[in-house]
Amino acid sequence: MCGRFTLTVELSSIIKVFQVQKDNSGFAYNKRYNIAPGRNILAITQTEENREISFMRWGLIPHWAKDISIGNRLINARAETVMQKPSFKQSFLHHRCLIPADGFYEWTKQADQKFPRRITLPDQEVFAFAGIWAMWRSPQGQDIHSCSIITCVANAQMKDIHNRMPVILAGEKAYHTWLTSDNTAVLKELMQPFDGPIVVYPVSKQVNSPSNDFPSLIDEKIIYIRTWPEPY
């Protein structure tokens, strides 16, 4: 799955990499070191003329939902079933997006303790998760845009950490295809485990709390595993 990620690059880099047409004035972007579900995250969508960047709530709310809380359960969509699930099907067919990131977190268990790891791509400042989005109108008439990150089975480097990982799109060709293609077979080919090199390193347990969001969270940390009783 993907339950936390980071986006610590400048907005100008995101706009350049993803070829977004955007007037930066008034766009309240901040670097994020511990993005959690339910927060507003950046998403890139395709219009007839260009790509647009906006904030969407992480946790997809289908247009037919009666309550916003359904989004808490729909932060990820499985690549294997995204084309069949009622919550995701229409978004997959008609409302796909790119979700910029420069890393994500997963946890490993050692000696009955859970330790967070950060996963990045060694040769890319920023990349994208494959995403889908929806627009939901609240009973009060407010339009809320929300999104979900698509996940797939873990690749060889990730499988010892977690059995799933986000679908990573890396490169303009993949970005263009994901945003514009109407060929489900082609889109399915993109929803595969990332086959390039990744970097995995331990980080502070402060990542465990979604209220923590500061630069030192992404620093590499030495893991000390405490056993009890202490050996003599």
One of 48, 52, 106, 189 is an active-site residue; which one?
106
Known catalytic residue at 172:
no
Whole-angstrom distance, CA of residue 163 vs CA of residue 51: 33
Q: Is-contact 53 15, C-beta < 8 A?
A: yes
Known catalytic residue at 220:
no
Q: Which residues is 138 bridged to in the sheet?
A: none
Whole-angstrom distance, CA of residue 95 vs CA of residue 154: 25
DSSP 25-87: TT-----EEEE-TTSEEEEEEE-SS-EEEEEEEES---TT-SSGGGGGG-SEEETTTTTT-TT
One of 2, 97, 147, 152 is an active-site residue; which one?
2
Which region holds residue 3: left if phi is over 0, alpha if psi is between -120 and 50, else beta? alpha
Residues 6+ apart with CB under 8 A from 25: none
Please state whether the peptide bond connecting residue 229 to the residue before it is cis, i.e. omega within 30 degrees of 0.
yes
The catalytic residue positions are: 2, 106
